Amino acid sequence: MPSERPTGFGIHDLSFASTRFVLTHAELSRHRGDDVSKYHAGIGQRAMSVPAVDEDIVTMAAAAAGPVVERHGADNIRTLVFATETSVDQSKSAGVYVHSLLGLPPQIRVVELKQACYSATAGLQFATALVHRDPDQQVLVIASDVSRYDLDSPGEATQGAAAAALLVSADPALIRLEGPSGLFTRDVMDFWRPNYRSTALVKGKESVTAYLQALEAAWQDYRARGGVPHGDLRAVCYHQPYSRMAHKAHRYLLERCAGGADPLAVDRAVGLTTGYNELLGNSYTASVYLALAALLEGDDELAGRLVGLFSYGSGSVAEFFAGRVQPGYRDHLRTAAHQEAVTRRWPVDYATYRDLRETLLPTDGGHYSLPQQTAGPFRLAGIRGHERIYEPTDR
């Protein structure tokens, strides 16, 4: 007999991971001689994740995806989409390394996507289309990034690192995607990183303006295509280059589309979405899905409610869409593991952080081993003849 028709498509599981070390903004303010409120209140950031020498986007991605594969198995995963703007190779997808580390079967397509902080949402939409075509398959979407700006620059305080893994399936346990997407693209140089640079270039004020203009345009497209009014959304998860940007964005949206923004309404919509981002820092492609994890874990009355998501990638591409939280969603959350990923990070002083930042991998093609610093399940063990060598740890 034919299987029952799926009731929808979307996010079946959500897991994230971060790094071994953390630099608090209290320590950063001490080094810079700033009032810490500049960071805590001004941009809404309290700490930033800092990678160990043997951690990168691959090790974080495998750490985030491992629990998803362990819970659900890999038999139905037919595609792995890796979204990042801090890729480790100009040709090979970082997802291929993850595929190997997790021992996934060979009958899987693997691809890497890039468009600044937006590409994980593209991966989610592509994954949903694949699962819609074949409801028996699942797609693993991984977003992983390490954000770096020049030392002592204004952007330094917004750095961070994390990976989020989404399992996309029919009949999802967490979020069923509903309705249209509102889309917007415009060629703007608000943030970019040329191939010859290890740190990004950003025009701060121009980037905020570009973000807000993209939000308004994507929202208008969403509504024009039949999307629900903002009052029907229980909350909105925004891309958070810093957590106060979520408040700024929602206030802007209400002022433009509702004629005014009540501060309480803004806080109700975004207040529960910032908990992880303010402690992990900007994780680029993973940011909006860390916001979703914080919302799901922080609100126990979301079942059956619509939540909005706004994904923005500088340069720029934006998308506004919505999903309905599924009954029983709290039974599938990873709250304890996520809180441990945040609390187990080892605090470092500014000098140690700076040493980590200034440690560069060799580029001469020689053989180099890296010391084990990570507390995670996977590590970058070394470089040999320009090849990155990854391995599991005993943790």
Q: Just list the catalytic residues.
A: 85, 117, 239
Give the chain's length. 395
Q: Is 26 left (phi over 0), alpha (psi -120 to 50) or beta?
A: alpha
- Give first-to-last CA distance, the chain, whole Å: 45
Sign, CA dihedral 217-218-220-225, equals positive
Identity of the residue numbered 72 = H
Mapped onto helix, strand or coil, the DSSP state of residue 245 is helix
Burial 141-170 (b: 16+ CB within 10 A, else e): bbbbbbbbbeeeeebbbbbbbbbbbbbbbb
Q: What's the CA gap between 48 and 68, in Å, rounded?
A: 25
Residues with Cβ within 8 Å of residue 240, at least 6 apart in sequence: 246, 273, 274, 277, 282, 287, 288, 290, 291
